Structure 1
Amino acid sequence: MALVPAALLTLSLSGCGTESILNDDTRVGSKSDQPGTSYSPHDGEFNGLDITVIDALFRDLGYDSPRPIPVQSKNRTRDLHDGDIHLVAATFSITPKRMQTEAKGGEGLDFVGPYASTQQGVLVADGDTGIQELSDLDGKQVCVWKGTTSDTELSGKAYENIRLRRETDARTCVQALLDGHVSAVSTDQLILYGFMEHYRGRLKVVPEIKFGEPNDYGIAMVKGHREDCEKLRDALKHYVSGPDWDRDVENNLPQLPKSERDEAHPTEDEISSLSCVDEPKNMPTG
């Protein structure tokens, strides 16, 4: 029996080869602690918009639903490059740095998306009437979790009067809010509306507070699987052009206002612009 050359074996194991990652055994990294977007209420069981979307795309391509593997925000890129997972569907924002090749200082990822877009928002206790606009957070402690665009956004000079508390995951931040240890939690609005539904009557999204550039959620993979990427891209275009996307968002995020749902809906042109490319089109590269 012929031996596989070591260089080819290494290439295959690194996830950078051309072998398809789309099959009935695909492993997808997803969050386990974000109700409405990606949540695991029981061991091995997942639900939420991220899960619904990727299941729909795999059905369209004729494959079984991929197997969800829990990931943390800060580990998503590393887990992909290590080969622990094939794809990430975990409210993962498409950014120029993440899309660019490693040779250019990027994270070396291809994205399929956006499958939804959202700005930053704020979650507070349901009875809190003192936080109605962004300036009301000055001097208050706001919880974010590491590895998110929210952490990056609120670390900027424009928000230097906000006292940030950084945790490793969403669950810890939300529990700190429920326990009264922080005044608010900040991250993407879509995620916050999922927590609002999960803790109905205890937590609420402040509808007047939206800030930052829109975050475009994408399904990520390491570069080197462009054909698979394009197949998923075409399936996503088909999905968002019909009635299923709107129904699925409403079912997973029932507290999300229709106006926000309409803003979150991607167009086929947006998907073409941001999917399966090394340099994002129509986005700042700084």
Structure 2
Amino acid sequence: MAGAFRNRRALTVPAAMATALVYVSATGCDSEPPSILSDRTEVAAKSDQPGTSYSPHDGEYNGFDIAVVGNLMNMLGYDTPRFSGVLSKNRAKLLHDGDVQLVAATFSITPTRMAPKDEGGDDLDFVGPYASTLQGFLIHKDDDRNIRTLADLDGRTVCVWRGTTSANELNKPSHNTIVTRVEEDAKTCVNALKAKEVDAVSTDQLILYGFMQANPTLRVVPGLKFGEPNDYGIAMAKGHRKDCVRLRDVLKQYVRQATSWERDFQNSLPKVPKETRDEAKPTEDEIMALSCVDRPGDSPAD
């Protein structure tokens, strides 16, 4: 409106044209679309990852991802969002198709996912990290082959699933002695491990501890961590920076509160060792560096 007012003072134009200028300025393509945050916000989450994001019954979801996004929405005054299931490979697509407004599904914040479409990216904004984790391995509890290092997995079959940073990591030439089996989802990999069709499952350690607590015959290999840290964020399609900043600011408050983050983490992932839990908790500086920006290290959005 201010821009239109200046134009009207600089130029002598008919009243009808001036009105049109005001309308175009107020409704032009630069304005942000309506808020995606409401009592009816739809959130895509994993349905097969106990501890992080899980649906044990039709329509019911629990886990740390669910607790985080639910608490942030409640802190903003909204009802708990509606959840639906998503595969890793479809997370960005659901957002761009408008099927959901947010994704909270152990979704790692990466430069490619953050970058605008014209830079070859997935054109997503993230709020996070709300947790960070390295990758690890899940094996049978009775596996006595003394797996302690990556070299101990040479020639063995490790299951991963499509659309994950774990699958990308094990595809690197430095890990080409490990045989990878790629499936569509986590549940298929875990079932293959339980049936001893594969030697291990690899993904983020926090996810693996969730599988361990749900499957007493499986265990996470202690101390065997690799890859770059995976920083989990709540994703949305770009174009909603005001909503992104609102969620970012309540995430900082949620992490800052004495018990909120720790309580939800411990309730969701009680098998995670204290050292790993402490490493998983983000700082406010980390949240500012990765939230609502096109690339890591950009100036934070207001």
User: Which TM-score applies when normalising by structure 1?
Assistant: 0.92
1:59 counterpart SS class: helix
In the TM superposition, what is the alpha-carbon distance from 1:210 to its structure 2 partner?
A: 0.1
In the TM superposition, what is the alpha-carbon distance from 1:18 to its structure 2 partner?
A: 1.5
Instruction: Tell me the equivalent position of 2:74.
Output: 59
* Further displaced range: 244-253 or 259-268: 244-253
Percent identity for Structure 1 against Structure 2: 61
- 1:149-164 aligned at under 5 Å gives the runs 149-164=165-180
Partner Cα separation in structure 2 for residue 189 and residue 100 of structure 1: 26
Question: Residue by residue, what CA displacement relative to the aligned partner does 1:53-74 show, whole Å, maximum 9, x if unpaired?
Answer: 0011011000001100100000
1:34 paired with 2:49, answer yes
Q: Which runs of 5+ in 1 are unaligned?
A: 1-10
The amino acid that maps onto 2:286 is E
* Further displaced range: 258-267 or 242-251: 242-251
Question: Residue by residue, what CA displacement relative to the aligned partner does 1:127-167 show, whole Å, maximum 9, x if unpaired?
Answer: 11312221111100000000000000000001000000000
The amino acid that maps onto 1:186 is S
Question: Residue by residue, what CA displacement relative to the aligned partner does 1:33-65 show, whole Å, maximum 9, x if unpaired?
Answer: 000000000000000000000011011000001
Partner Cα separation in structure 1 for residue 127 and residue 64 of structure 2: 15
1:245 counterpart SS class: helix
1:254 paired with 2:270, answer yes
Partner Cα separation in structure 1 for residue 35 and residue 136 of structure 2: 38
The amino acid that maps onto 2:51 is G
- Higher alpha-carbon Rg: 2
1:136 paired with 2:152, answer yes
- 1:206-245 aligned at under 5 Å gives the runs 206-242=221-257, 243-245=259-261
Backbone CA RMSD of aligned residues: 1.2
Instruction: Tell me the equivalent position of 2:137.
Output: 122
2:236 counterpart SS class: strand
Partner Cα separation in structure 2 for residue 225 and residue 112 of structure 1: 12
In the TM superposition, what is the alpha-carbon distance from 1:208 to its structure 2 partner?
A: 1.8
2:84 counterpart SS class: strand
Aligned partner of 1:91 among 81, 99, 106: 106
Partner Cα separation in structure 1 for residue 33 and residue 132 of structure 2: 30
In the TM superposition, what is the alpha-carbon distance from 1:17 to its structure 2 partner?
A: 5.4
Instruction: Tell me the equivalent position of 2:204.
Output: 188
1:274 paired with 2:290, answer yes
Question: Residue by residue, what CA displacement relative to the aligned partner does 1:108-136 show, whole Å, maximum 9, x if unpaired?
Answer: 00000000000000000011131222111
- 1:168-207 aligned at under 5 Å gives the runs 168-200=184-216, 202-207=217-222
1:80 paired with 2:71, answer no
Report runs of 4+ in structure 1 exceeding 3 Å deviation. Answer: none
Partner Cα separation in structure 2 for residue 143 and residue 278 of structure 1: 32
In the TM superposition, what is the alpha-carbon distance from 1:281 to its structure 2 partner?
A: 1.4
Instruction: Tell me the equivalent position of 2:26.
Output: none
1:74 counterpart SS class: helix
Partner Cα separation in structure 2 for residue 129 and residue 191 of structure 1: 23
Partner Cα separation in structure 2 for residue 129 and residue 224 of structure 1: 52
1:263 counterpart SS class: helix
The amino acid that maps onto 2:184 is T
The amino acid that maps onto 2:285 is D
User: Which TM-score applies when normalising by structure 2?
Assistant: 0.87
Aligned partner of 1:103 among 118, 121, 135: 118
